[in-house]
């Protein structure tokens, strides 16, 4: 039995080229017995499709506060998503998303969900080395770790 068996994993995807790898992450989490829900930043939609992730996770994928395709305009509740999860993984975590997380700049569903999460939060930075080493990015890492987030 896998350590992930029965776990509820909330996967947050930000808009970097590494976003295409998240389809494989979802597949592996499901194979290990986890339940997976996905929340995407608007920029991530350019790199991987919600249809792919919904098919693999067997759950709807969330990227906006309101479900515009639904005639009722249903609210995608970031608080419920944050409470549902046993752990949240933000991968890839771009410099932009990390800065928003560190500074509480809540301008999309992914960041709102992160700020509402009551579970352990892991993040996997994905950027070029110069961006990674930039003082503002390092400051974001420091702040996020001081909040109890775990860098992987």
pLDDT at position 73, please?
Answer: 62
Does 100 score more than 90 pLDDT?
Answer: yes
Domains (ranges, CATH) in the chain? 8-151 (3.40.50.1950)
CA distance 74 to 133: 41
Residue 42: both structure tokens together = 């608007």
CB proximity list for 1: less than 8 A, separation 6 or greater: 33
- In this predicted model, what pLDDT tens digit does every residue of 101-132 receive, in sequence order? 999 999 999 999 999 999 999 999 999 999 99
The pLDDT tens digits of the residues spanning 32-42 come to 999 999 999 99
Rounded to an integer, the average pLDDT of 25-31 is 98
- pLDDT, residue 83, reads 86
Buried b (16+ CB within 10 A) or exposed e, 113-134: bbebbebebbbbbbbeeeeeee
For the cut 80, the answer to whether the pLDDT of residue 71 exceeds it is no
Is-cis flag, bond preceding 92, omega within 30?
Answer: yes
pTM: 0.93
């Amino acid at each position: 039995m896998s350590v992930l068996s029965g776990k509820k994993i909330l996967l947050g995807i930000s808009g970097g080229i590494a976003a295409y790898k998240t389809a494989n992450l979802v597949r592996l989490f499901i194979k290990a017995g986890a339940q997976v829900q996905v929340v995407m930043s608007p920029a991530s939609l350019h790199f991987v499709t919600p249809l792919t992730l919904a098919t693999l996770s067997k759950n709807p994928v969330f990227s906006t506060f309101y479900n515009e395709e639904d005639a009722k305009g249903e609210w995608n509740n970031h608080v419920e998503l944050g409470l549902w999860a046993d752990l949240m993984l933000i991968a890839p975590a771009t410099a932009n998303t990390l800065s928003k997380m560190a500074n509480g700049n809540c301008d999309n569903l992914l960041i709102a969900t992160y700020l509402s999460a009551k579970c352990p939060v892991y993040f996997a930075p994905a950027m070029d080395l110069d961006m990674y080493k930039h003082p503002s990015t390092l400051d974001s890492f420091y702040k996020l770790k001081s909040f109890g987030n775990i860098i992987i």
